[in-house]
C-alpha cells in the first residue's frame, strides 16, 4: 500500500472548503466544511511517512500522525480512529481549533515547497466519522476501584484527566461552577470555530462512562447551596485535581475606562455562546452585550480578540475594528483567524493603543495613539512606544477589552493559604509530579501554565491523571486499598 503515500509531489494541498464570508456572517456555525472520505484519503496520501516525524515532535500530545495518516489513506478508518484516540481524548476538537500552523502542520517537512499535509482536517474527519459510525464508545473500566477523585473544573484539562482516571476504574467526580461541561470550549470559543454540539456529545459520553458531574457547584471557602468548600472536597475524595483555568480579565487603564459600554471579552463571548445554546441572557436583552447596529472596537491581538471581532460581525455591528499595539507579524493570535476576520469585514488598526475613552453616560469614542516598534528585549520581543502627536479618535459605542487573563487568587478565595501559587498567581505544582504544595492535591491546564491552548490542557490533564494514579498506588501499597472486580 506504500504507493498510496508520498503523493505530495503530484497531489496539491487542499484544505476543507470554507463557506463564503457573506454566508458566514449570517450565523454562528463552523466555517469549514468536512472532508468527505475520498478527500481525506487523498490528502492523507500526501504524507511522506518521515522516519523522524517532526509533525509529531511538535504536537503537544505526540500524536502518532504518520500512522493514522497512512491508515486513512488506506481506507482503514476504524484503525485510524483507534490510533488517533489513543493519545488524544478529543481529537475532533483539536482538529478544529489547534493552531496547526504553529504546531504539527507548521513543522511538516513537506511544508517547504509543497505545503504541509492537512493534519488537523484529517484528524477531525477521522473522529467525526467514528462518531457517525458508532465507534466512539463510553468508557467501561475492566475493574472498579473504591478510591475517588474530585476534579475542580470541567474544561479540557479536567475532562481529559477525568477520562484517564475513569479508564483506570476510579470513581471520578467533576465539579464546575458553570451549568455546562466544557470550560472555555463551551462558553469561550465561539461556535464558528467549534460547534457546541461537539462538546455536548462528549459530556453525554462521559456520563455514560460513569463520570459524575456536579454542575453549578463552584469550589470556594465555605459550603453553601451553589458552593462546596475546598476543605470539604479534600475530605470527600482521596485525591483532588485543580483545573480551574484563568478568568481574571486584565484591566484597561486611562481616563473613561470605567464608562458603561466598555465590557470584558469573557462576558461578551459567554453571552453570545449562551444565546447560541438557546439560553435567555438578561444582559443581552438589555442591549449591554449586543453589538447590533453599534460601532465596535475590540482591544487586543490574541485569539480572544479575534473571536470577539468575528462575533460582533455576526451580531450585525455597524462597524468592527480591532485595535492592537503591535503589527500583524507580532500579534499573538493565529494569522489564519486574522484572515478569516478580514474576509468577514473586520478592520485591523495595527500599531495603535487606546489613550482614553470618551463619552458622558456611555462610551462614544476611543482616543488612540500610533505606536512604533523599538528594540528587542532579552526575550527577543520588540518594545512598543507611542508616536508623539499621533493621536486619533475612533467612533465606538461598544468597546470590548480582550487583553488576556490572569488566574483568580485561589488561596484567598478557597480559604487555603497553604496552597502555593507563583508570583503570577498560577498554581505551583511539581514539574513531573503535578502535585501542589498540599499532599494529594494536583493541578493541570491554564491554572498551572497560564492562558494557553486546549491541546496543552489535554496533555496536562493526561499527565496529571497518571501522577494521581501513581500517588494513590503508592499510598495503597502502604495501606492496601480495596479493589473489587466488576
- Contacts with ligand SF4 by CB under 6 A lie at 47-50, 53-55, 59, 61, 63, 65-66, 88, 94-95, 98, 100, 103-104, 108-110, 117, 119-120, 123, 455
End-to-end CA distance of the chain: 42
Give whichever of 18 and 58 is closer to ligand SF4, judged by the CB atom.
Answer: 58
Among residue numbers 258 through 287, which ones bind ligand FAD (CB under 6 A)? 269
Judged by CB, which is closer to ligand FAD: 169, or 220? 220
Residue pointed to by grid coordinates 475513569: 166
SS3 at position 299: strand
Closer residue to ligand SF4 in complex, CB, 123/397: 123
Give the whole-angstrom CA distance, residue 3 versus residue 5: 5
Contact 76, 91 (CB under 8 A): no
453 binding ligand FAD? (CB under 6 A):
yes
Is the alpha carbon torsion for 85, 86, 88, 89 positive or negative? positive
Q: In this chain, which stretch among 10-18, 50-58, 83-91, 301-309 interacts with ligand FAD, using CB under 6 A?
A: 301-309
Smallest distance from the beta carbon of 335 to ligand FAD, in angstroms?
13
Angle (CA) 125 157 186, round 5°: 65
| x-or-dash string of contact with ligand FAD, 52-91, rule CB under 6 A | ----------------------------------------
For residue 245, the partner it binds in ligand FAD, ligand SF4, none, with Cβ less than 5 to 8 A by kind, is ligand FAD
Q: What DSSP character marks residue 315?
A: T
Q: Is 457 in the site for ligand FAD (CB under 6 A)?
A: yes
- Cell 491552548 sits on residue: 453
| 416 near ligand FAD (CB under 6 A) | no
Q: Residue 155 in 3-state DSSP? A: coil
Residue 135 and residue 127: Cα distance in Å, rounded? 9
305 binds ligand FAD (CB under 6 A): no
Residues in the chain: 486
DSSP codes of every residue in 371-412: EEEEEE-TTSPEEEEEPTT--EEEE-SEEEE---EE---HHH
Q: Which is nearer to ligand SF4, 303 or 416 (CB)?
A: 303
Yes or no: say if 283 and 384 are a contact pair by the CB < 8 Å rule: no
341 near ligand FAD, rule: CB under 6 A: no
Q: Using CB distances below 5 to 8 A depending on partner kind, what does residue 183 bind out of ligand SF4, ligand FAD, none?
A: ligand FAD
To ligand SF4, the closest distance from the beta carbon of 375 in angstroms equals 33
175 lines the binding site for ligand FAD (CB under 6 A): yes
DSSP codes, 134-161: T-------SEEES-EEEEE--SHHHHHH
Phi, psi of 112 (to 5 degrees): -75, 110
Candidates 369-377, 382-390, 435-443, 451-459: pick the segment binding ligand FAD (CB under 6 A): 451-459
Query: What would the grid cell of residue 42 be?
Result: 487523498
Dihedral sign (CA 190, 78, 62, 444): positive
109 interacts with, out of ligand FAD, ligand SF4, none, CB within 5 to 8 A per kind: ligand SF4
Among 106, 210, 218, 411, contact with ligand FAD (rule: CB under 6 A): 218
Work out whether 303 is an interface residue with ligand FAD (CB under 6 A).
yes
Helix H segments across 277-320?
A: 282-285, 303-314
x/- binding map, residues 88-127, to ligand FAD, per CB under 6 A? Answer: ---------xx-----------------------------
Interface contacts to ligand FAD, rule CB under 6 A = 97-98, 152-158, 175-178, 183-185, 188-189, 193, 218-219, 243-245, 269, 303-304, 307, 445-446, 452-455, 457
Amino acid at each position: 500500500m506504500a504507493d498510496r503515500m508520498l503523493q505530495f509531489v503530484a497531489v496539491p494541498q487542499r484544505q476543507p472548503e470554507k463557506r463564503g464570508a457573506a454566508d458566514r456572517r449570517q450565523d454562528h456555525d463552523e466555517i469549514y466544511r468536512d472532508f468527505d472520505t475520498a478527500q481525506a484519503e487523498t490528502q492523507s496520501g500526501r504524507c511522506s511517512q518521515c522516519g523522524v516525524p517532526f509533525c509529531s515532535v511538535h504536537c503537544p500530545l505526540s500524536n502518532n500522525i504518520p500512522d493514522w495518516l497512512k491508515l486513512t489513506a488506506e481506507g482503514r478508518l476504524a484503525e485510524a480512529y483507534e490510533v488517533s484516540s489513543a493519545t488524544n481524548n478529543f481529537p475532533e476538537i483539536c482538529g478544529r481549533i489547534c493552531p496547526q500552523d504553529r504546531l504539527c502542520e507548521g513543522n511538516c517537512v513537506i511544508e517547504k515547497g509543497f505545503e504541509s499535509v492537512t493534519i488537523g482536517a484529517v484528524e477531525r474527519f477521522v473522529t467525526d466519522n467514528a462518531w457517525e459510525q458508532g465507534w466512539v464508545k463510553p468508557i467501561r473500566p475492566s475493574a472498579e476501584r473504591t478510591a475517588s477523585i474530585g476534579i475542580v473544573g470541567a474544561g479540557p484539562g479536567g475532562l481529559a484527566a477525568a477520562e484517564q482516571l475513569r479508564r483506570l476504574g476510579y470513581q471520578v467526580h467533576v465539579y464546575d461552577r458553570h451549568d455546562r461541561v466544557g470550560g472555555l470550549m463551551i462558553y469561550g470559543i465561539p461556535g464558528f470555530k467549534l460547534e457546541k454540539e461537539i462538546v455536548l456529545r462528549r459530556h453525554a459520553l462521559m456520563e455514560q462512562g460513569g463520570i459524575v458531574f456536579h454542575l453549578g457547584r463552584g469550589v470556594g471557602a465555605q459550603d453553601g447551596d451553589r458552593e462546596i468548600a475546598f476543605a470539604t472536597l479534600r475530605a470527600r475524595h482521596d485525591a483532588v485535581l485543580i483545573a480551574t483555568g484563568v478568568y481574571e480579565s486584565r484591566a484597561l487603564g486611562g481616563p473613561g475606562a470605567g464608562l458603561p459600554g466598555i465590557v470584558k471579552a469573557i462576558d461578551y463571548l459567554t453571552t453570545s455562546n449562551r444565546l447560541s445554546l438557546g439560553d435567555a441572557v438578561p444582559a443581552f436583552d438589555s442591549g449591554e452585550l449586543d453589538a447590533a447596529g453599534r460601532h465596535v472596537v475590540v482591544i487586543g491581538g490574541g485569539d480572544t480578540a479575534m473571536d470577539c471581532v468575528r462575533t460582533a460581525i455576526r451580531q450585525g455591528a455597524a462597524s468592527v475594528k480591532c485595535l492592537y499595539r503591535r503589527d500583524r507579524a507580532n500579534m499573538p493570535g493565529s494569522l489564519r483567524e486574522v484572515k478569516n476576520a478580514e474576509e468577514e469585514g473586520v478592520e485591523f488598526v495595527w500599531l495603535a493603543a487606546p489613550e482614553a475613552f470618551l463619552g458622558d453616560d456611555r462610551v462614544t469614542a476611543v482616543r488612540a495613539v500610533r505606536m512604533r516598534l523599538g528594540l528587542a528585549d532579552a526575550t527577543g520581543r520588540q518594545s512598543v512606544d507611542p508616536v508623539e502627536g499621533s493621536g486619533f479618535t475612533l467612533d465606538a459605542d461598544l468597546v470590548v477589552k480582550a487583553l488576556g487573563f490572569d488566574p483568580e487568587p485561589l488561596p484567598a478565595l478557597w480559604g487555603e493559604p497553604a496552597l502555593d501559587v507563583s508570583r503570577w498567581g498560577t498554581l505551583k505544582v511539581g514539574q513531573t509530579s503535578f502535585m501542589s504544595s498540599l499532599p494529594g492535591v494536583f493541578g493541570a491546564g491554564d491554572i498551572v501554565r497560564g492562558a494557553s491552548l486546549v491541546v496543552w490542557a489535554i496533555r496536562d490533564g493526561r499527565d496529571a491523571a497518571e501522577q494521581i494514579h501513581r500517588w494513590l498506588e503508592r499510598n495503597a501499597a502502604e495501606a492496601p486499598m480495596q479493589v473489587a472486580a466488576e
